[in-house]
Amino acid sequence: MRATFGSGRIAGVRIRVHWSVVVIFVVITVGLARNRLPDAGPGRPWAVYWAVGLLTATVFLASLLAHEVAHAVLARRNGIDVDDIVVWLLGGVARLKGEASNPGAELRIAGVGPLVSLVLGIVFGLFAWLADSISGGNVIVEALTWLAAVNVLLAVFNSIPAAPLDGGRLLRAFLWWRTGDRLRATIGATSAGRGFGWFLVLLGLFLFARGDALGGLWPVLVGWFVVAAATMERRQAQLRERLAGIPVRNAMTRDSVTVSASATVAEFLDPHHRHGHSAFPVTDGAGAPVGLLTLDAANHVPEPRRGMVTAGEIMLPLSRVVVVDPDDPLAELLPRLESGPENRVLVVDDGRLVGVLSASDVTRTMTWLVTTDPRHRER
């Protein structure tokens, strides 16, 4: 899942927004402005319903963001760096750079999200009660009541003991504490997640069969996401187990082809200078890495300007590229590795580029592991 644009930082954590957020924002706004708010306070100008609907949808997304920021803040307090928070169609995801070191940390990080949503639900409920006591039922009371209900629902849903939901993390923390085996705990939590996801899919199909197409869409969509995410989480846990003890240097591609930051796009795209890759590290005059340039970014430069635009102008800056040491554990990078040319990891030693790591490098390393004696992991 890739974010399409950034929207700043909160508590030092980079926030990214997926294009699908527009869909849920429109659905909530239209649903409130055309149905729920007019029913609660009939006779108002339509502009009032739309204004309150827009404001309510915005506050809901802010509540969702608060839920994820809480995860991120607790993660950092427990020694885990945070890549970013991505808000998308079905909620939000705080992407962590590592895992909790013990069951207690896992419990705190997982539990704080539903707790924040529950507190927000209670606060909105109190505001709705006060507004109703002062002015009686109106669109503001209805909007606050909706926000209270949806935040409580968010807290309850996320507490279901099924990965990748927060409740699944809580279940994994308990199983980890009980068995002392993180992998077994992850398999247990993800099995529960897959079971819950398939239940939602079947529920949605049942509603479809009864003629409730809209009512059946959301369970199918959410259920499919839960199944896919739980399956991916299990695979990553099994990969981490297999890759335990292997440093990045054993998997990285050495002697990678680099591009000078001062090189023009025309020079970069010259077929004689290409080496069959889709992304290239960019270096400065001293040979130090400063970013990453993809073929896709270069090809988007209009042809008449390719002789004037440089690699340094269109590259991903180093601040947006994952940079690691060659002796860092390969297993710890798995949550941060995705497919795609822009998802390369630059391996740097004392300011010098020594290699590049991609998802295909990890796959190649895994293939090597399963075809050789696991006791001999050094190449």
Sign of CA dihedral 178, 224, 1, 158: negative
**Cα gap 342→16, rounded to integer Å:** 16
**Cα gap 268→295, rounded to integer Å:** 9
Helices and strands, number each (H, E), in the chain: 12, 11
Which DSSP category does 108 fall into? H
Which residues does the annotation mark as catalytic?
A: 68
**Cα gap 263→310, rounded to integer Å:** 5
Contact between 87 and 16 under an 8 Å Cβ cutoff? The reply is yes
In the chain, the amino acid numbered 357 is L
DSSP helix/strand/coil, 355: strand
Contacts of residue 348, Cβ cutoff 8 Å, sequence gap at least 6: 289, 323, 324, 325, 354
Beta strands across the sheet bearing 322-324:
322-324, 345-349, 352-357
**Cα gap 106→19, rounded to integer Å:** 30
CA distances from 257 to 10, 178, 262, 313 (A): 37, 49, 15, 19
DSSP helix/strand/coil, 323: strand
Please provide the distance, in angstroms rounded to a whole number, between the alpha carbons at the two ends of the chain. Answer: 33
Contacts 24+ apart (CB under 8 A), 368-376: 369/242, 369/243
